[in-house]
């Protein structure tokens, strides 16, 4: 009996009383993107449920939605001057980084929570990119490469942060629109929703969706990757056909 009581106490200590529960849902778990399309959007809906004992919080809630795309092995290179010419010299490898990251928040992220918590929990694009597991540390030499990756990915619309991306419809129901550009690669996307109040994390949920590319160009891309010999032969055949056609059409003798 005493052992059971101790276990119960331990159980209670390990799982703090959850005052708020977060319920989230995606508008879609399978997103289809046409290759020559301009991109699409997926919506995240969420509701915050309070149990009977909890009183309404004076500060209100904040939500951060973080979406991470499939992982890629990237190399970032820097052109440096060597004599009269500019050539790639220093490089930094990023063995496993998301091809796509978007962070949608209900307020500017610096107002939501403290610096330390953001670094530790990787909340916000800055924190994700400067995290230790993002790439190898090289005593500060890695910093310009992290910044360059951020900048270049942001230009493509693949790394983005929107401090007005989450809107509260009522005080405890919210919605976020996640923009997916046409360049977003196919694969599994992780959606991480974190609920904050007064700079503290209250609850967290995690869901996924799959991005599937459709359309003619995408199918060609698949053939080029998986059936490269066939693809090469087909391109060669097309080229020879057009060459022959031209010699027939424009025959001069």
Contact set with another protein (CB under 8 A):
70-81, 84-88, 91, 93, 96, 99, 144-145, 148-149, 151-153, 185, 187-188, 217, 220, 224-225, 228-229, 231-236, 238-240, 242-247, 250, 252-253
What's the maximum distance between 2 C-alpha atoms anywhere in the chain?
A: 106
The residue (of 38 and 170) whose beta carbon lies closer to another protein is: 38
Q: Both tokens of residue 177?
A: 């629109």
Minimum Å gap between C-beta 26 and another protein is 20
Minimum Å gap between C-beta 67 and another protein is 17
The residue (of 172 and 210) whose beta carbon lies closer to another protein is: 210
Minimum Å gap between C-beta 121 and another protein is 24
The residue (of 28 and 75) whose beta carbon lies closer to another protein is: 75
Among 218, 187, 185, which Cα is nearest to 34's? Answer: 218
Minimum Å gap between C-beta 30 and another protein is 16
Can you list the positions of beta strands (E) in 99-165?
Answer: 101-105, 159-162
The residue (of 87 and 173) whose beta carbon lies closer to another protein is: 87
The residue (of 12 and 37) whose beta carbon lies closer to another protein is: 37
3-state secondary structure of 55: coil
Among 245, 28, 60, which Cα is nearest to 170's? Answer: 60
Minimum Å gap between C-beta 184 and another protein is 12
Q: Both tokens of residue 14?
A: 């390990």
Q: Both tokens of residue 77?
A: 């290179």
CA distance 21 to 43: 20
CA distance 79 to 107: 37
- CA distances, 235 to each of 221, 223, 241 (Å): 13, 12, 10
């Amino acid at each position: 009996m005493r052992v059971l009581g101790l276990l119960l106490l331990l159980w209670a200590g390990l799982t703090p009383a959850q005052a708020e529960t977060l319920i989230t849902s995606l508008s879609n778990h399978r997103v289809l993107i046409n290759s020559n399309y301009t991109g699409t959007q997926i919506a995240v809906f969420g509701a915050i449920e309070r149990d009977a004992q909890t009183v309404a919080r004076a500060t209100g809630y904040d939500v951060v939605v973080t979406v991470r795309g499939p992982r890629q092995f990237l190399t970032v290179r820097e052109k440096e001057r060597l004599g009269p010419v500019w050539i790639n010299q220093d490089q930094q490898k990023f063995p496993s980084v998301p091809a796509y990251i978007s962070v949608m928040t209900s307020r500017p992220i610096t107002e939501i929570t403290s610096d330390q918590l953001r670094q530790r929990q990787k909340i916000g694009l800055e924190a994700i990119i400067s995290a230790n597991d993002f790439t190898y540390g090289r005593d500060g030499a890695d910093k310009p490469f992290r910044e360059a990756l951020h900048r270049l990915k942001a230009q493509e619309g693949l790394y983005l942060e929107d401090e007005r991306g989450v809107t509260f419809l009522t005080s405890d129901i919210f919605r976020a629109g996640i923009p997916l550009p046409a360049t977003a690669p196919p694969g599994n996307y992780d959606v991480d929703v974190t609920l904050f109040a007064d700079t503290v994390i209250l609850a967290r949920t995690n869901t996924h969706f799959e991005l599937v590319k459709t359309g003619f160009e995408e199918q060609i891309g698949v053939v080029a990757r998986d059936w490269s010999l066939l693809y090469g032969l087909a391109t060669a055949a097309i080229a020879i056909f057009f060459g022959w056609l031209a010699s027939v059409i424009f025959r001069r003798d």
